[in-house]
């Protein structure tokens, strides 16, 4: 399977919608760009799509509005994440990103793996 590649414009747009705050970092992941808080991913881009981490009941609401399961490989859903519907660059889903950050911040911080 060939991984989709985000454009530089998409990466720049993503960097603009990610809030600043303690423990928040942007890192490349699988040729994409993702936002992490305390080492846990809370949102990212996959090709030109934006995905966020949310609780199951909130994922269901986003899917009712046209969102879809995040499947980095066809048939392999990544639990806890949903692809945001619509053109997120034209109308940034600030509330969803903030919610994803709030939920992910509650998770235990990840410690870096030793090499």
Burial of 85 per CB tally in 10 Å (0-12, 13-18, 19+): middle
The domain defined by 8-105 folds into: 3.90.1150
What's the predicted TM-score (pTM) here? Answer: 0.91
For the chain, percent of residues with pLDDT exceeding 70: 99
Q: For strands 68-69 and 81-83, give the pairing.
A: antiparallel
Does pLDDT of 28 surpass 80?
yes
- Token code pair at residue 94: 């600030």
Domain boundaries, the chain: 8-105
35-88 tens-digit pLDDT: 999 999 999 999 999 999 999 999 999 999 999 999 988 888 889 999 999 999
Residue 99 pLDDT greater than 80, yes or no? yes
- The predicted structure's pLDDT at residue 1: 59
pLDDT in tens, 47-58: 999 999 999 999
């Amino acid at each position: 399977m060939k991984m989709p590649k985000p454009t530089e414009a998409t990466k720049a747009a993503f960097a603009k919608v990610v809030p600043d705050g303690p423990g928040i970092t942007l890192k490349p992941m699988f040729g994409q760009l993702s936002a992490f808080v305390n080492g846990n991913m809370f949102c990212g881009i996959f090709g030109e799509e934006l995905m966020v981490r949310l609780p199951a009941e909130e994922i269901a609401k986003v899917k009712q509005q046209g969102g879809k399961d995040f499947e980095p490989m066809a048939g392999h859903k990544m639990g806890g994440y949903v692809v945001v519907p619509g053109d997120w660059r034209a109308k940034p889903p600030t509330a969803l990103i903030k919610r994803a950050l709030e939920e992910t911040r509650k998770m235990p911080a990840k410690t870096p793996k030793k090499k």
